[in-house]
Amino acid sequence: MALQCGIVGLPNVGKSTLFNCLSNAKAQSANFPFCTIEPNVGVITVPDERLVKLEELVKPQRVVPTTVEIVDIAGLVKGASKGEGLGNKFLANIRETDAIIHVLRCFDDDNVTHVDGSIDPVRDKEIIDLELQFKDLETVEARLQKTEKAAKASKDQDAKKLVEVLYRYKEAFENGKSARTVELTEHEQKVTKDLYLLTNKPVMYVCNVDESSVVDGNQHVEAVREAVKDENAEILIIAAKTESEIAELETFEERQEFLEDMGLKESGVSKLIRSAYKLLNLQTYFTAGVKEVRAWTFHKGFCAPQAAGVIHTDFEKGFIRAEVIKYDTFVELGSELACKEAGKMSVEGKEYVVQDGDIMHFRFNV
Residue 159 has what pLDDT? 81
Residue 25 has what pLDDT? 40
User: Which DSSP symbol is given to 200?
Assistant: G
Residue 36 has what pLDDT? 43
Residue 244 has what pLDDT? 85
User: Among 3.90.550.10, 3.40.50.300, 3.40.50.970, 3.90.700.10, what is the CATH number of 4-48+64-115+202-279?
Assistant: 3.40.50.300
Is 12 one of the annotated binding-site residues? yes
User: Among 2.60.40.10, 1.10.150.300, 1.10.760.10, 3.90.45.10, what is the CATH number of 129-199?
Assistant: 1.10.150.300
Residue 16 has what pLDDT? 83
Residue 75 has what pLDDT? 65
Is 16 one of the annotated binding-site residues? yes
Residue 34 has what pLDDT? 38
Domain ranges for the chain: 4-48+64-115+202-279, 129-199, 301-364
User: Burial code of 73-109, b = ≥16 C-beta within 10 A, e = fewer?
Assistant: bbbbbbebbeeebbbebbbebbeebbbbbbbbbbbee
CA–CA dist 92, 248 (Å, integer): 33
Is 185 one of the annotated binding-site residues? no
pTM of the full structure: 0.81
Is 15 one of the annotated binding-site residues? yes
CA–CA dist 287, 338 (Å, integer): 16
DSSP for 66-101?
-EEEEEE-PPP-TTGGGT-TTHHHHHHHHHT-SEEE
Helices (H), the chain: 15-22, 49-58, 87-95, 121-153, 157-174, 186-191, 219-227, 240-248, 252-261, 268-279, 304-311, 313-317, 327-333, 336-341
CATH 3.10.20.30 fits 301-364, yes or no: yes
Is 14 one of the annotated binding-site residues? yes
Residue 31 has what pLDDT? 41
Of 321, 317, 283, 287, which is closest to residue 302 (Cα–Cα)?
283
Q: Which residue pairs from 154-159 have beta carbons closer than 8 angstroms and sit at least 24 positions apart in sequence?
A: 158/191
Q: pLDDT tens digits for the chain (366 residues)?
A: 567 888 888 888 888 888 888 764 444 344 444 344 456 788 888 888 999 999 999 999 999 998 888 888 876 656 555 555 444 566 778 888 899 999 999 988 777 666 666 889 999 999 889 888 988 999 999 999 888 877 777 777 778 888 899 999 999 999 988 998 898 898 888 888 888 899 999 999 999 999 888 888 899 999 999 998 878 788 999 998 888 888 787 777 888 888 888 877 788 888 888 888 888 999 999 999 999 999 999 999 999 999 999 999 999 999 999 999 999 999 999 999 999 999 999 999 999 999 999 999 999 987
